[in-house]
Amino acid sequence: MISQTFLVIESGIKSLIYIVAFAFFGSCQTDDSSPSSVNQESEEVIIEPVEEVTYANIDFSNWKLTLPIDANDNGSPDEYQPSQLINKGYRSLRSIQPFMYDDTSDASIVFYTYPETSTANSSYSRTELRELINPANARDNWTLLEGGEMTGKLKVESVSENISSNDEFHWVIVMQIHGIISEEDMDTYGFKGNNGPPLIKIYWKDGYIWCHKKSLVDEATEGFDLYGVYDRTWADIKVNLGYVGHDVFDFRISASDARIEVQLNDDSPYVYEDISLEKWPFENYFKAGNYLGTTDPNAFSYVKYYNLSLNH
C-alpha cells in the first residue's frame, strides 16, 4: 500500500510539473503572438506617397528631329518624323536615346550632340528639332506676314572647353528662325535648291545669350539679288541679351510682318524693325535644340528643354 501510495503521489507531482510547464511556455508564446499583447501604435504600417513622374512639356506633332550621326549610311544625318516622336515614341527608339532622352529628375528632355555628321549646308553637327507646320510636306512653311512665335524654357547643362580660342567654352545655338525659298520662288527663278539663310540664331556663348539677326549688306538690294550668295548679301547683326550661365532660362521669339521680338526671361524684349525685314524674301521655320559650333573631335554639349511651344 505504501509503495502504491508513493507511486500515486509521484505520478501526481509529475502531472503537476507538466501542467505548470505547459502553462508557463504557453503563456510566453501567447505574449509574443497574441494581437491583444502587441503595441498597435509601434506596428502601424506607414505608406509613403508615390512621387508622380513628370516629363518635359513638348508636343512633337510639328517637329522633325535631326541627329549628329548617319547610322543608315545614306550620306546625311539621320532624321525622325513627327509620327515617330509623338506620344513619347522617341523613348522606344534606341537610335534616338543617346541623343534625345528624358531626365525625370527635373522633368526635362536632354539634347546631346558631338561632332560627327553635319547637314549639307553646315560644317557642324546637331541634335535639333525642325518645325513642320505640315508634317506631310516640309515645303509648307510660313512668311513673316503670317508670323509665328516660339517659346521655351531651357538651359545649357554642359559644354566642352574651347582650347583653340580665347573663348572658355564652345558655342551652341539653341533656337533659330531659318529661311527657305518658297516653291513659288523656286519655279519663278529656276532654283534647284531651296536652302535659305537663318534669319535669327540664338547662341549660348560662355554663358551669355546672343542674338544674331540677318540684315542686308546693301539695303538697296532688290528682287532676284536678294537671293544672292547669302553670306555676301546678308550679314549678321549681333546683340548680347544677357548672362544665364548654366541656369534655366526662358526665351521667346516672335515674328510678324517686318518685325522680330526676342526676349530673355522677363527682360524687356529686343525689337528689330528695319528694311531688311521688309525685304526678307524667304519663308521660314523654327528650330530648337542643340547645334554645336565646333568640329573638335572631343567636343560635346548637353542642352535641356523643360518646355517648348509653337504658335501661329
Residue 93 lies in a domain: yes
SS3 content of the chain, % helix, strand, coil (to 5): 20, 35, 40
Residue 13 lies in a domain: no
Q: Would you say residue 78 has pLDDT above 50?
A: yes
Residue 8 lies in a domain: no
123-151 pLDDT, tens per residue? 899 999 999 999 999 999 999 999 999 99
**Structural contact between residues 118 and 211, judged by C-beta atoms closer than 8 angstroms:** no
Q: Which domain holds residue 184?
A: 57-311
255-301 pLDDT, tens per residue? 999 999 999 999 999 999 999 999 999 999 999 999 999 999 999 99
Residue 41 lies in a domain: no
Residue 78 lies in a domain: yes
Residue 16 lies in a domain: no
Cα atoms found within 13 Å of the Cα of residue 74, Cβ hemisphere only: 6
Tally of structural domains, the chain: 1
Interatomic CA distance for residues 282 and 296, integer angstroms: 32
Interatomic CA distance for residues 205 and 202, integer angstroms: 10
Of the candidates 170, 113, 116, which has an alpha carbon nearest to the alpha carbon of residue 291? 113
Q: Would you say residue 165 has pLDDT above 70?
A: yes
CATH number at residue 170: 2.60.120.200
Specify the pairing of strand 57-58 against strand 301-311. Answer: parallel
Residue 138 lies in a domain: yes
Residue 105 lies in a domain: yes
Of the candidates 184, 180, 178, 159, which has an alpha carbon nearest to the alpha carbon of residue 170? 159
Cell of 91: 523613348
